[in-house]
Amino acid sequence: MAPIPIRTVLISDSVDPRCRAVLEENGIRVTEKQNMKNDELIAEIKDYDGLVVRSATKVTADIIYAANNLKIIGRAGTGVDNVDVDAATRKGVIVMNTPSGNTISAAELTCALLMSLSRNVPQAAMSMKQGNWDRKKFMGAELYGKVLGIVGLGRIGKEVASRMQSFGMRTIGYDPITPPDVSASWGVEQMSLEQLWPQCDYITVHTPLMPSTVGLLNDETFAKCKKGVKVVNCARGGIIDEAALLRALESGQCGGAGLDVFVEEPPKDRSLVDHPNVISCPHLGASTKEAQARCGEDIALQIIDMVKGNSKSSTTLPIPHLKNTFLELCLCEGTSVISEKLRLMEEEVFAKIQIL
């Protein structure tokens, strides 16, 4: 592909220092300004060629249209749900992310929550700190022989499966993109969601947040699950209907939840956070030194590849004939090739969830 002239980049979130270092080593002038309000960013962005964000900055249409020279928006993380991709496309701005940078960290946190749910580790630790010694109260259950349902079998879902299989769990799953024979090679048996719900002792979700996945676990689906099923969400807040989850916890239909993400962050309604059967974290899925270094360096290298015209970047582009749908494309030496793992699901495909 033709080189894209990038001379100045604004970093508006806390990104690993390696990002700035790589960009400056390649002659790009970098400015870092964090915690800007929307109107401040609109005023600041006007003359920059590139913008790098993490999660805090919401790149709205107003910001994109105010950026006279903007050519690239890079998100140092998985997904681009904090970027108005439609507005960027209309203005001819490329949107990039680092879909593999957080994979191991997010998978490890998912596994940690699954294990904590099975043995009540955080609750027991807190009880000890309060001076108690209550062994009976925190009776747990083995993971060995239990069934783990994985909804979304992309990079993270695959890594979770391989790790939990080491504990002797049977892994089943659903994904509208990954072929069943491929997931079978990882030891995951694919099936419809209607078949999956009633079999699971534990469920973990690893899908993008889009209209067809909002409230994927709701009153209706909880009712189809085993009584006492435990659920984990380290993906996006809203995939599990929070009100329905609270009702399921109160009734005992859900035996526990591990939540790293919420619809509103931080959550003002603390009903779930304060529930005794909920283990919650403040969105720590990507919060490891390794993940942040990887994402920071990856997004900088992608920008440099674009500048040199030899991009092998993960670039998110809308598909014109589908509403709110995206394919993750791998731009390899000027040729657009659909990535083997389409982690930003096509809505038309993922909508199958609602009719299976």
Assign residue 259 the CATH number of its domain. 3.40.50.720
pLDDT for position 84? 95
pLDDT for position 314? 56
pLDDT for position 81? 84
Last residue of a domain, one of 280, 312, 333: 280
Query: Do 223 and 131 lie in a common domain?
Result: yes
Residues 40, 220, 265, 333: which is the catalytic one? 265
- To the query of whether residue 108 is one of the catalytic residues in this protein, the response is no
85 is a domain residue: yes
Query: Do 250 and 227 lie in a common domain?
Result: yes
Query: Do 183 and 82 lie in a common domain?
Result: no
Rounded to two decimals, the pTM is 0.83
Query: Do 264 and 226 lie in a common domain?
Result: yes
Residues 32, 247, 283, 348: which is the catalytic one? 283
User: How far is residue 272's CA from residue 279's CA, in Å, rounded to a whole number?
Assistant: 9
Query: Are 324 and 211 spatial neighbours (Cβ–Cβ below 8 Å)?
Result: yes
Query: Do 155 and 87 lie in a common domain?
Result: no
Query: Do 39 and 118 lie in a common domain?
Result: no
Question: Could you list the pLDDT tens digit for every one of the 356 residues in the chain?
Answer: 788 999 999 999 999 999 999 999 999 999 999 999 999 999 999 999 999 999 899 999 999 999 999 999 999 998 888 999 999 999 999 999 998 999 999 999 999 999 999 999 999 999 999 999 999 999 999 999 999 999 999 999 999 999 999 999 999 999 999 999 999 999 999 999 999 999 999 999 999 888 999 999 999 999 999 999 999 999 999 999 999 999 999 999 999 999 999 999 999 999 999 999 999 999 999 999 999 999 999 999 999 999 998 755 555 544 333 333 333 333 322 222 233 333 343 333 443 333 33
Query: Do 16 and 111 lie in a common domain?
Result: no
Residues 236, 297, 328, 347: which is the catalytic one? 236
Structure tokens at 228: 């006492």
351 is a domain residue: no
Give me the domain span that covers residue 339: 8-101+289-345
- To the query of whether residue 275 is one of the catalytic residues in this protein, the response is no
264: left (phi over 0), alpha (psi -120 to 50) or beta: beta
Paired sense of beta strands 314-318 and 326-332, if any: antiparallel
Query: Do 97 and 108 lie in a common domain?
Result: no
Query: Do 97 and 240 lie in a common domain?
Result: no
Query: Do 337 and 230 lie in a common domain?
Result: no
User: How far is residue 237's CA from residue 216's CA, in Å, rounded to a whole number?
Assistant: 11
pLDDT for position 78? 85
* Exposure of 153 in the CB half-sphere (CA atoms within 13 A): 26
pLDDT for position 328? 36
Q: In what helix (H) or strand (E) does residue 317 lie, and over which residues does it extend?
A: strand 314-318
> How many Cβ atoms sit within 10 Å of the Cβ of residue 336?
12
- Find the DSSP H helices in the chain: 17-25, 38-44, 61-66, 85-90, 103-119, 121-129, 155-165, 180-184, 193-196, 219-224, 242-251, 289-308, 347-350
Query: Do 197 and 110 lie in a common domain?
Result: yes
Query: Are 254 and 228 spatial neighbours (Cβ–Cβ below 8 Å)?
Result: yes
Query: Are 79 and 101 spatial neighbours (Cβ–Cβ below 8 Å)?
Result: no
With b for 16 or more beta-carbon neighbours within 10 A and e for fewer, the 271-282 pattern comes to ebeebebbbbbe
pLDDT for position 315? 55
Q: How many domains are contained in the chain? A: 2
- To the query of whether residue 283 is one of the catalytic residues in this protein, the response is yes
pLDDT for position 310? 76
Structure tokens at 22: 């790589």
Query: Do 153 and 207 lie in a common domain?
Result: yes
Give the gyration radius of the chain's Cα atoms.
Answer: 21
